[in-house]
Amino acid sequence: LTGVPREQRAFQYVLAHAIPGDPRHVLQTFDQWCYRCEHLSSVGPVKGRIVERLLYERAPLRVLELGTYCGYGTVLLAQGLPPGARLYTVEVDPRHAAVAEKVIRLAGFDEQTVELIVGPSEEVIPQLKEKHGLLKADFVFMDHWKRWYLRDLRLLETHQLLAEGATVLADNVLFPGAPHFLQYAKTCGKYRCKVHRASLEY
Q: Could you list the active site residues? A: 143, 146, 171-172, 201
Whether residue 195 contacts residue 174, with contact meaning beta carbons closer than 8 Å, is answered with yes
The torsion defined by the Cα of 39, 181, 63 and 44, in degrees rounded to 10, comes to 20
What CA–CA distance (Å, rounded) separates 10 from 13?
5
Q: How many CA atoms lie within 13 A of 42 on its CB side?
A: 34
List CB contacts of 3: < 8 A, sequence separation 6 or more.
none
Buried b (16+ CB within 10 A) or exposed e, 90-109: bbbbeebbebbbbbbbbbbb
DSSP SS3 for 138: strand
What CA–CA distance (Å, rounded) separates 175 from 199?
10
Q: What secondary structure letter does DSSP report for 84?
A: T
What CA–CA distance (Å, rounded) separates 38 from 201?
12
Tell me how many helices (H) and strands (E) the chain has: 9, 5
